[in-house]
Amino acid sequence: MTGRIIIIEPNLINERGHHAFATSRFATLMGDTRPLIAAGKGWNGSQHLGGGDILRVFKHNRDTVSRSRRYGPTVTTAFSLGAGAIMPIATFIRGRVRAHATETPASTVASADASKLRSIIGLELGEFLRNFEPKLQDTVFLPSADAELLIATAEQFEAHRGQARFVVRLMYDDVGCHPSDPTWRSALKRLQESPGAVEHVDLLAETPAFARAIREIWPKSVELLPHPTDLPAQQPPAVNGRFILYMAGHARSDKGARLLNATAQALAAKLKAHDPDVVLRVQGHPSGRAGKVRIEALPLHLDPDEYVLSWKQAHAALLLHDPAVYAIRGSGIVCDAISSSKPFVFLSGSSLSGWNVGCNALEATPSPPAIAQAIVELLNGYETFAEASATVASTVARHVEVGMVTVMGRETTSEAG
């Protein structure tokens, strides 16, 4: 393919977090093809990211779209103007509440029908594409799409502006959305029915569970493109009297923070005198101790070198993503665990089960005694689980390579290894 690649990422507003890492990584994987990256107007980083050139385009992102549907444009604008002062305070309060929560808050779910809705971000996307004038040989890549971006893409074909090839990686489902938000299934159905969309759009999914759900609607093949982790495979560290379980990412109730203290107590009751001490390293969670089990608090945000070191020092990962939230949507952390050769414990019913690919993980029901028992089994059979994890360490990288074939529209990706 000789055309240009345009990455559409309205959620890209700074150099920290998932969207910045994933966009940078995808741009790097494109090798000599230097993409243009259409980011948020509020982008405050450099003009280049992962070999791509940044364009400040979108006023709206996933958060502002949801607020607009919920509260209307006036309140949304007022909130945006005060976000610089409000967000640090709100983030701090939310983090403290989540860290001490004993139950996962009930998630709201999108329920609106997308067939008659107008996309809030569609006008911005349409104006950008009109100005940019992508040709048939060009590719418009949406790496973190939700229902809103599906509708916005559909509107381009409904307005007969779908000249380029679109590659849409669906990442967000309906959980955690407001009831006034459109469902992703109705948005995908609308895209399917848009003139020329099936012919010119290729779909990707972040998880095997999401890919299966998309295939129930979409008439073409759906490839997998998981989180593009760059963590290297690592030799398992020696236990030497202590066993480190890393709970990476922000400690939130939907990622198991509510279960930690009780799990530590249940695990302490199961460990024998000859067992090593167990350290649960957690980002943004209070420290604590129960017998031979210690919860070690890490900073909420780690710089890249600290993050790599945390994986290197860990023996395994503790991934307690709530199945009610992560039934089909994915987690980049599980991809980091696999690529760094770490076995992991996960909760039954979550999408993380799709990465249990050969005795590299243990499943537990979402109760502290069951999680503690899984950790004991992992501890007792650690050599076996570590060997299996080393064997499957390249699994995510292979899926990313195949997914990037779809993005690039050619037989091989540009980056070796």
Residue range 50-62: mean pLDDT, rounded: 94
Q: What is the DSSP letter of 137?
A: T
Residue range 335-357: mean pLDDT, rounded: 96
Tokens of 204: 């990707």
Residue 44 CB coordination number (10 Å): 9
Residue range 194-219: mean pLDDT, rounded: 97
| pLDDT of the residue at 93 | 46
Same fold, 5-64+109-229+397-408 and 242-393: yes
Percent of the chain with pLDDT over 70: 89
Residue 240 CB coordination number (10 Å): 7
Whole-prediction pTM value?
0.89
Q: Is the pLDDT of residue 90 over 50?
A: no
State which CATH number among 3.40.50.11930, 3.30.460.80, 1.10.540.10, 1.10.3470.10 fits the domain covering 5-64+109-229+397-408. Answer: 3.40.50.11930
| pLDDT of the residue at 336 | 98
Q: Is the pLDDT of residue 196 over 60?
A: yes
Residue type, 139: T
Domain 242-393: CATH superfamily is Glycogen Phosphorylase B; (3.40.50.2000)
Percent of the chain with pLDDT over 90: 79
Q: Is the pLDDT of residue 242 over 80?
A: yes
| pLDDT of the residue at 71 | 72
How does residue 73 score in pLDDT terms, banded at 50, 70 and 90?
A: low
Domain locations in the chain as residue ranges? 5-64+109-229+397-408, 242-393
The burial of 243, by beta-carbon neighbours within 10 Å (0-12 exposed, 13-18 middle, 19 or more buried), is given as buried
Q: Is the pLDDT of residue 79 over 60?
A: no
Q: Is the pLDDT of residue 217 over 80?
A: yes
Q: What is the DSSP letter of 182?
A: B
